[in-house]
Amino acid sequence: MDLSSLGCLHNAHRYTTYNFCKRTMLELKKITLHTATAIFLTVACYSAQARTVMTITCNEPNGTRTDFYEGEFQEEQDGFAGVTPRFIFDDAKPQSVTAHYEPAAAAKQLGIKDSVTFKIIVQTTEQITMVSAPNEKNTVQMYSIFPKQGIGYFTIHRYMAVRDGEASSATLLTKCNIVKTQ
Phi, psi angles (nearest 5°) of residue 80: -100, 75
Q: Which of 7-16, 55-64, 117-126, 145-154 has the lowest mean pLDDT?
A: 7-16
User: What is the average pLDDT across 48-64?
Assistant: 90
The whole-angstrom separation of Cα 58 and Cα 174 is 6
Using the predicted structure, report yes or no on whether residue 31 has a pLDDT greater than 70. no
Neighbours of 133 (CB within 10 A): 15
d(CA 144, CA 13): 80
User: Over the Cα atoms of the chain, what is R_g?
Assistant: 32
Lowest-confidence segment of 138-142, 150-154, 178-182 by average pLDDT: 178-182
Whole-number pLDDT of residue 130: 98
Is-above-0.85 flag for pTM? Answer: no
Query: What's the count of helices (H) and strands (E) in the chain, helices before strands?
Result: 2, 10
Contact between 147 and 178 under an 8 Å Cβ cutoff? The reply is: yes
Whole-angstrom CA distances from 130 to 98, 106, 117, 133 are 10, 23, 9, 11
Residues 57 and 88: their CA atoms lie apart, in Å, by 9
Instruction: Output the average pLDDT for the chain.
Output: 82
Q: Which of 22-31, 111-120, 134-143, 167-176 has the highest mean pLDDT?
A: 167-176
What pLDDT is recorded for position 41?
47
pLDDT at 170: 95
Q: How confident is the model at residue 166 (pLDDT cuts 50, 70, 90)?
A: confident
Q: Could you give the CA distance from residue 146 to residue 95 in angstroms, rounded to a whole number?
A: 17
Instruction: Specify the pLDDT at position 46.
Output: 46
Find the mean pLDDT for residues 11-15.
54
Question: Hey, which of 9-18, 49-58, 143-152 has the most confident mean pLDDT?
Answer: 143-152
Predicted pLDDT of residue 24 = 65
Task: Read off the pLDDT of each residue in 120-130 and give the average, rounded to a whole number.
Answer: 96
